[in-house]
Amino acid sequence: MVSTLDGAAQHDGRSQPISTAADMRIFGTLRALADVVVVGAETVRREGYRPARARADFAAMREAAGQAPAPAIAVVTASLDLDFSLPLFTSPLVPTLILTGASAAPDRVAAAEKAGARVLAAGDGIGVDPARAVQALAGLGHTRLLTEGGPRLLGQLVAAGVLDELCLTVSPMLTAGDAQRIAGGPAVTVPQRLGLVSMLEEDGFLFTRYARS
C-alpha cells in the first residue's frame, strides 16, 4: 500500500498519482513472488485491473518453487458486479479467481464461470469471510498472498487478524481532502502492533516492511 504524509491512500480515487517509479518496482517484485494477488471489486473497477504477466527475471525462481508463470488475480466481491468481458477475465495467463459468498446470485456466478473465472465460496451468506478466503486460496495451493487493496478489503483483513505483514510506501506528498486511509471499516478492539523489518529511501519516499511478531 501507499500513503501520503497526511494519510491519503488515493488521489482522485487512484493510488498512481501518489506513487513513484521505485514504488512500482517494489510493487512488481511483490507480484512476481506471490502465488495470488487478492483485490477488492471496487479497486478492480477503479484501477482497471489487468491480468498479472509473466516476468522473465522471475521465471526460474517461480518454476523452482512450483508456482505458475504468473500469479492469479483473486477478486473479492459479494455482488459479482464486474465486467466479465475485460481481459482480467477473458485472457489471463492464469485463470482469475472470484471469492464470494455461498449465497451469491446464481446468474452472476454463471456469468463469471462462463467468462473463464473460477468461483470460490468463502462465506455463508453473500459476503466474504477473510479467514475463509485465506483457507479457500490455501486449498488451491496459494499460500503466498499479496493483497493490493483497496482500503475496505485491507481493513477487513486487519479486523479478522489474517494480515501477516505490511509493505507500506510513505509518499512525501500532502493532498488534504477526504481520501481514504490505507485501511477502512470498523476499528479493532485493541490496536495491533507490527514490528519494523526493513526501511529503504529514495527521492524522499520511504519503503517500509512491517510484520507480526
Phi, psi (deg, nearest 5) at residue 206: -105, 130
Is the predicted pLDDT of residue 190 greater than 90, yes or no?
no
More confident: 49 or 158: 158
Q: What is the per-residue pLDDT across 55-70, written as a single tens digit (0 to 9) for each?
A: 999 999 999 999 999 9
Q: What is the per-residue pLDDT across 159-173, written as a single tens digit (0 to 9) for each?
A: 999 999 999 999 999
The domain locations on the chain are 2-211
Q: How confident is the model at residue 137 (pLDDT cuts 50, 70, 90)?
A: very high
Question: What homologous superfamily does CATH list for 2-211?
Answer: Dihydrofolate Reductase, subunit A (3.40.430.10)
Residue type, 119: V
Q: How far is CA 51 from CA 27, 73, 93, 109, 121, in A?
A: 14, 7, 7, 20, 21
Closest CA to 29 of 207, 170, 153: 207
Q: What is the per-residue pLDDT across 36-47, written as a single tens digit (0 to 9) for each?
A: 999 999 989 888
